[in-house]
Amino acid sequence: MLLIVGLGNPGPSYAKNRHNVGFLAVDEIARRWGFSPERRRFQGLACEGSIETPTGPVRTLILKPQTFYNESGRAVGEALKFFKMDPADLVVFYDEIDLAPGRFRMKAGGGAAGNNGVRSITSQVGPHFRRARIGTGHPGHKDLVHGHVLSDFHKAEMTWLEPLLVALADAAPLLAQGDDEKYQAEVMRLAPAEKADPRALARGKD
């Protein structure tokens, strides 16, 4: 079994924030692979289904913690404990300001790199889970980070965001097989980072 978690904040006011790109990613995976409707579970919204791979379907639970971003570990820890799963079977999708807009990188284990959601999960399940990091770019100064991640994606950014979300879902069989390196490569093949427009961050408007 695979547990896929998207990080974000609950409620419509946060829905299009850069901090919520983890929610957007797992929503697209659930849509692409025909998962069940969401229901409240594990202090979050959960849906179930299977991702088809060449070796057969992989049963998967998608979870969007509703504890707010910085407390995501409470929901993740509860789900992992319930299913008696190993952290290696956990994949967390989240925004990464240290990656350029449109870039995507997989990573297993490691530190939180200042991400409070990842830090919260680590405190509950340890560091040895898989991280699916979606680049949203850095605003240029640490004092601007809070406002940057809690602001909505600009319309100009849809040119890279929408294809990237589709690629994350279409390539999911590689993720389900545990081949993170190939998954990363296939996502970037389907949605080349060159489509990202770094000027969108500087413009600060639609």
Mean pLDDT over 90-97 rounds to 96
Tens-place pLDDT, residues 133-192: 999 988 888 888 889 889 899 999 999 999 999 999 999 999 999 999 999 999 999 998
Q: How many residues make up the chain in this entry?
A: 206
The kind and range of the H/E element at 200 are helix 199-203
Distances (CA, A) of 46 to 54, 99, 145, 206: 25, 28, 29, 33
CA–CA separation, 143 vs 34, rounded Å?
41
**Rounded-to-integer distance, Cα 79 and Cα 92, Å:** 13
| Backbone dihedral angles phi then psi of residue 156, each to the nearest 5 degrees | -60, -25
Does the pLDDT at position 39 exceed 60?
A: yes
| Residues annotated catalytic, as ranges | 19
Q: Where does 2-203 sit in CATH, by number?
A: 3.40.50.1470
Mean pLDDT, range 4-12, rounded to an integer = 97
- Confidence bin at 5 (pLDDT 50/70/90): very high
Residue 34 burial (10 A CB sphere; 0-12, 13-18, 19+): exposed
Q: H/E element holding 75?
A: helix 72-82
Please tell me the predicted confidence (pLDDT) of residue 201. Answer: 46
Identify the band that residue 41 occupies on the pLDDT scale cut at 50, 70 and 90.
very high
Which of the four pLDDT bands, split at 50, 70 and 90, describes residue 49? very high
Of 102-106, 161-165, 201-205, where does mean pLDDT reach its minimum? 201-205
Domain extent listing, the chain = 2-203
Contact 134, 95 (CB under 8 A): yes
pLDDT of residue 141: 85
pTM comes to 0.91
Tally the C-alpha atoms within 13 A of residue 89's C-alpha that lie toward its C-beta: 16
Quickly state the pLDDT bin for 194 (edges 50, 70, 90): low
Q: What is the reported pLDDT for 139?
A: 85
| Mean per-residue pLDDT of the chain | 92
